[in-house]
Amino acid sequence: MPTDLRTDTSSTPDEEMREAMRRAEVGNDGFGEDPTVNRLQEMAAARLGKEAALFVPSGTMANLVSVMVLCERADGLVAGRDCHMLTFERGVVPLAGVVPLVVRDEDGSPDIGEIRAILGRRSFVRAKVLALENTHNFAGGVALDCAKMQIYADLAHEHGLKLYVDGARIFNAEVALGTPAAELCREADLVSFCLSKGLSAPIGSVIVGSEESVRRAREMRWLLGGQMRQAGVLAAAGIVALEKMIGRLAEDHRRARRLADGLAGIAGLRVEPPQTNMVRVHIEREGMDAKAFADGMAARGVLVINYSATIVRMCTYRDISDTDIDTAIAAARQTMAEA
């Protein structure tokens, strides 16, 4: 099997998760009667300090449902240009019927000045929601701390906007910053997080917010075909993820730093120091681009993603060992040596 550093969605459930799924007590979640789903939702709401939560099949659906709850059609969604909703989840904006009001966010932080400029200009588009991503995927897993989150919350409230946090990897931020996710998202009207990335569950995301917003989210989930029945077999893995997998994210962060240190010593590579579990590598050798580097790594049994013509991303998660890190560093050294 290749060493797969493309994404933490390649993580697999451990034996405890599989056993929990096998033994899960189930009911009809369409009627809110699956006890395991209900327990997961209660745990998620408590963990994020919100009133209620909703289990949905995917992160894309979590973002779409949340935007539909917070916006009317033709409302404006203020978001960073490189945020996941705009770059990878191409259906969120058109299906929700919102107008994207885009600002720069190269470092993972939407530009405050550009947000103010958008909100201050005369326009027929009514800005309704400010969306943040924590951690920020395209920026390399950058985590926004409480101080930054508060700045955005104050700005949103100053202009009467709702605040939405795409917190697919919010627990990576919690571990990296040493700050509970509930504090990071305290001012958010809705938050979503993913169970199937670093938390190793096989499927699912959770939306958390007020009782009313989650009630509306449930309606939107049904409208989009996301209503599930005996979903406790899936939610059971999510319960184990919340109970057992958050603390171990520090291991992924450690391995990401170790990978970055090893790659930094290879001529032709410029490595951004990772904050969480993602390593962004800039290919800076004439005649070599990111695709050629990724192809060279794949030929040596290591899978990575070329994010642009010059940038490659590598991601650590529970299934990646120290041996895998050594393998990746050796493969990169050979790839660059033979370029």
What's the per-residue H, E or C state across the chain? CCEECCCHHHCCCCHHHHHHHHHCCCCCHHHCCCHHHHHHHHHHHHHHCCCEEEEECCHHHHHHHHHHHHCCCCCEEEEECCCHHHHCCCCHHHHHCCEEEEECCCCCCCCHHHHHHHHHCCCCCCEEEEEEECCECCCCCECCCHHHHHHHHHHHHHCCCEEEEECCCHHHHHHHHCCCHHHHCCCCCEEEEECCCCCCCCCCEEEEECHHHHHHHHHHHHHCCCCCCCCHHHHHHHHHHHHHHCCCHHHHHHHHHHHHHHHHCCCCEEECCCCCCEEEEEECCCCCCHHHHHHHHHHCCEECEECCCCEEEEECCCCCCHHHHHHHHHHHHHHHHCC
Mean residue pLDDT across the chain: 96
What pLDDT score was predicted for residue 320?
A: 98
Output the pTM of the full model.
Answer: 0.96
What pLDDT score was predicted for residue 339?
A: 74
Split at pLDDT 50, 70, 90, the class of 121 is: confident
pLDDT digit string (tens) for 55-85?
Answer: 999 999 999 999 999 999 999 999 999 999 9
Rounded mean pLDDT of 19-31? 97
Domains present along the chain, CATH in parentheses: 9-245 (3.40.640.10), 248-337 (3.90.1150.10)
